Every structure is written in C-alpha cells, then in structure tokens.
C-alpha cells in the first residue's frame, strides 16, 4: 500500500474505488489505534495494578468497565471532529444510564480522565486533541450521541467499544470493533486486537494467556515481535490489512507499516482448526464438538474471547469460526460487522448456517439469522460445515 500523508483532506471520488471511503478508513483506523492504547492501559491497571476502576454489571449481568465507556466517548469524539457531529451516526453498545446515577460520580470522573488522557496522546496518530480537556458533559454527550438504531438506508458507524469484556476483565483477549455501514451493507471494517500475540499458539484461552501477557512487549512500529494489531478492510477491495499496534511512536504515518493478510489455504478438515467462544453460554460447545467430529476436524478447538476469532481467520491462524447461540438469543450487529468484511476481503466466506449473508440492514440485531454463524477460510470447508449442521440440527438441543 502506498504511503499517504497523514492529513485528512483527501477528496472522495465516487468513480475511483481506491479513493472511496479513504478518509473514513484512515480516521477509523487511527481512532481504533487510540482506543487500543486506552484499553491496554486500563487493562494493565485493572489486572496488574488493581486500579482500573470497578467492573460493573449491566442489566443482563454482563460486565462493563471504564474502558467500554471511555472508548465509546473517544471514538465518537474523533469521528465527530473529523466529519462533523451532524454527519456522524453511530450504533454502539453502551449508554450513559449507569454513569448518570448519583452514586456513579467516581466512575464518571474516571471515564472523563481516561478519555482526556487518551485524547492527549492522539497526536501520535495525527489526530488533533481538544484544545482544552473535555468537560464531563462533553464526554457524556459523546457517549450518548451513539444512539442510532441502524436500518436499511443511509450511513452509520457500528461500534463495539470493548468486545469480549469478559476476556478484558480476565486479562485475556478482547477487541475494539468499528465498521461503517452504508445502505445496509458493511463497507469498512476495523478491528483492534490489543492482545493478539505474534505467536499464534498463545491465542488459546486454555493456554492461560494472562500468565504470558505480562511477559510480552508491545510491538514496535516495524517489529511485529510483541503483541497487538489492528486489522482493516474496505468492501470490494479484495484486500485486507494488518498493522502492528504501536505505543506512542511519533513516526506513525498512515498507513504506517500495514501488511496484507490472507486467509489460510488449508481446506483439508484434518489439518484445519476451528475457533469458537470461550463461554459455553454463548455458543454450544457440545454441538460444535459433534460437527467437528462429523466433518473430520481433529485439532482441539481454539477458544478465544471476542471478535479476535474473526481476526484469527482473516490472518490465517485458524480456518473455521462457528457460533451457535442458544435459541432466542439475538446477535447484535456490533459483534460481527467489522469482522465479517475483514474475513471476506481476506478471501474467506461468512454466512449464517443457511448459507445467507449476515443482514446488517435490519437495525441493531442480525434479524433472520438462520441457526448460527459460520466463517471459513474457503468455500469447501464452509460447505462441509453447513452440510454437517443440516445433518445434525434436528437432533440437537439448541
């Protein structure tokens, strides 16, 4: 990829596919880098210094931390600065209800401080920080501005500020996922994976990543030696890219040291590895175990939190991702949008279990999803898995 200057004055040309969404992509990748560094800091404080604020429980009992709200505020602020608040519509996971409670003042100050600390270092990526630190009201406004409910027309961003919060609070894998949807189709996907290890063997939850984590350095700008990466792709480009996550490197110039990524060439089930959620509650391990057996998969499943699973497929570190949630669970668009386009542009296939593309045009949920999600490096593996699902679905307890 050719190096471009880091200013944002690129004019979008509808006729040149290379230039379409050029500014959106650059801003989104930079915002995700900033968010990754924010999360690394909060996770280090939370896990190793015991000082990353409380882990709160949401109404559905899932965890949420200072990082979730801070990333949402930071990304929302960066997008609004770049494109004008009136032009930015965002569907995102968090709201300000819990933060606005009278007993949440310490939590709220911690979010405001985290956002301002993060924005003060954003100039590394060519992002102009606010002239004075954001006030509490501005931070709340940035979070609550992300109240779009998506839909079939127009343009909106989709943000999961911390996907895999359970992995995050356990010192393990998590992702920051940002996508742009236009007229119901994902046109850009950016996935930040701050703990992605350059040695793929360390991805597996069963390896106790947390114990290894503290020994891994952050990647250097050109080094690819430590941990952390940002993946991105533009719909229709047939290319997907990966950048190492750097730490305050002043030499960062878009697109920095981006490398193309490709899905794995393995199509023999015997050699293939499948990944799935860590939590049994999120996807049936017994159902996928049966599928794996019937298709001839021999390797142990790679259980990884969050959309890092999509990253693993796009990077060629695993061949299959399956998620079969319990009946009645409705998948949210922010848990999939960025990952789907990155895998597809890296050469892979992503559909529901009926072979239909995931539908990002029906609001916050992936409406009409047939049984589960199957992402594969190639169509041959994908067809085998779909056939196996058909053969065993009726006897499953899902």
Ligand X SMILES: Nc1ncnc2c1ncn2[C@@H]1O[C@H](COP(=O)(O)OS(=O)(=O)O)[C@@H](OP(=O)(O)O)[C@H]1O
Residues with catalytic function: 68, 165
Min dist CB 13 to ligand X, Å, is 35
172 annotated as ligand-binding = no
Min dist CB 60 to ligand X, Å, is 7
Distance separating alpha carbons of residues 142 and 123, to the nearest angstrom: 19
In the complex, which residues of this chain contact ligand X (CB under 6 A)? 62, 93, 160, 163-167, 277-279, 281-282, 305-306, 323, 325, 329, 332, 335
State residue 331 phi and psi, 5-degree precision.
-65, 140
60 annotated as ligand-binding = no
The two three-digit tokens of residue 21, written as one number: 């969404």
Give the angle subtended at the CA of 160 by the CAs of 154 and 162, to the nearest 5°. Answer: 165
163 annotated as ligand-binding = yes
CA atoms within 13 A on the CB side of 57: 3
Min dist CB 71 to ligand X, Å, is 11
How is 38-74 classified by DSSP, letter by letter?
A: HHHHHHHHHHTSS-S-PPEE-TTS-EE-HHHHHHHHH
Q: Which does 281 bind (CB under 5 to 8 A by kind): ligand X, Mg ion, none?
A: ligand X
Min dist CB 362 to ligand X, Å, is 17
Give 26 or 163: the residue with its C-beta nearer to ligand X. Answer: 163
Q: Which does 24 bind (CB under 5 to 8 A by kind): ligand X, Mg ion, none?
A: none
Min dist CB 148 to Mg ion, Å, is 17
The answer to whether 378 touches 348, Cβ cutoff 8 Å, is yes
Distance separating alpha carbons of residues 263 and 24, to the nearest angstrom: 25
Q: Which does 166 bind (CB under 5 to 8 A by kind): Mg ion, ligand X, none?
A: ligand X
The two three-digit tokens of residue 384, written as one number: 């085998």
Give 249 or 279: the residue with its C-beta nearer to ligand X. Answer: 279
In the complex, which residues of this chain contact Mg ion (CB under 5 A)? 160, 163, 335
Where does residue 227 rank: exposed (0-12), middle (13-18), buried (19+ CB within 10 A)? Answer: buried
Q: Which does 165 bind (CB under 5 to 8 A by kind): Mg ion, ligand X, none?
A: ligand X
Give 293 or 326: the residue with its C-beta nearer to ligand X. Answer: 326
How is 120-138 classified by DSSP, letter by letter?
A: HTGGGGTPPPPSSPPPHHH
State residue 391 phi and psi, 5-degree precision.
-70, -30
Give 62 or 147: the residue with its C-beta nearer to ligand X. Answer: 62
Give the other-Cβ count within 10 Å of 26's Cβ.
21
Q: Which does 305 bind (CB under 5 to 8 A by kind): Mg ion, ligand X, none?
A: ligand X
160 annotated as ligand-binding = yes
Q: Which residues are part of a known binding site for Mg(2+)?
A: 93, 160, 163, 335
């Amino acid at each position: 990829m050719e190096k471009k200057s880091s200013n944002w004055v690129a004019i979008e040309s509808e006729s040149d596919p290379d230039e379409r969404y050029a500014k959106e992509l650059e801003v989104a990748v930079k915002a995700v880098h900033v968010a990754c560094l924010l999360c690394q800091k909060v996770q280090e404080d939370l896990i190793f210094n015991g000082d990353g604020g409380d882990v709160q429980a949401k109404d559905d009992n899932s965890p949420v931390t200072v990082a979730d709200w801070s990333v949402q505020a930071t990304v929302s602020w960066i997008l609004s600065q770049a494109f004008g608040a009136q032009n930015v519509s965002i569907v995102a996971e968090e709201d300000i209800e819990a933060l606005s409670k009278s007993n949440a003042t310490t939590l709220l100050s911690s979010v405001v401080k985290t956002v301002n600390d993060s924005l003060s270092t954003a100039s590394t990526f060519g992002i102009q920080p606010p002239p004075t630190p954001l006030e509490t009201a501005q931070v709340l406004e940035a979070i609550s501005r992300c109240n779009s409910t998506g839909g079939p027309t127009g343009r909106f961003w989709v943000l999961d500020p911390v996907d895999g919060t359970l992995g995050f609070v356990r010192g393990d894998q998590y992702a920051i996922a940002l996508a742009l949807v236009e007229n119901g189709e994902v046109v850009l996907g950016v996935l930040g994976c701050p703990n992605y290890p350059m040695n793929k063997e360390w991805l597996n939850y069963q390896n106790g990543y947390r114990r290894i984590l503290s020994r891994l350095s952050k990647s250097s700008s050109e080094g690819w030696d430590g941990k952390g990466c940002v993946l991105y792709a533009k719909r229709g480009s047939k290319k997907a890219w990966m950048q190492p996550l750097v730490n305050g490197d002043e030499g960062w110039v878009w697109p920095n040291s981006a490398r193309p990524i490709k899905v794995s060439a393995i199509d023999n089930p015997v050699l293939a590895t499948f990944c799935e959620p860590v939590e049994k509650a999120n996807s049936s391990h017994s159902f996928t175990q049966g599928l794996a057996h019937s298709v001839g998969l021999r390797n142990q499943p790679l259980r990884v939190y969050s959309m890092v699973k999509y990253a693993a497929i796009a990077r060629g570190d695993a061949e299959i991702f399956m998620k079969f949630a319990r009946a009645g669970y409705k998948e949210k668009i922010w848990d999939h949008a960025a990952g789907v386009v990155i895998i597809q542009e890296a050469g892979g296939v992503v559909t529901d279990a009926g072979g239909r593309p995931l539908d990002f045009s029906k609001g916050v949920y992936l409406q009409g999803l047939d049984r589960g999600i199957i992402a594969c490096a190639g169509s041959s593996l994908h067809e085998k898995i779909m056939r196996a699902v058909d053969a065993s679905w009726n006897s499953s307890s899902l």
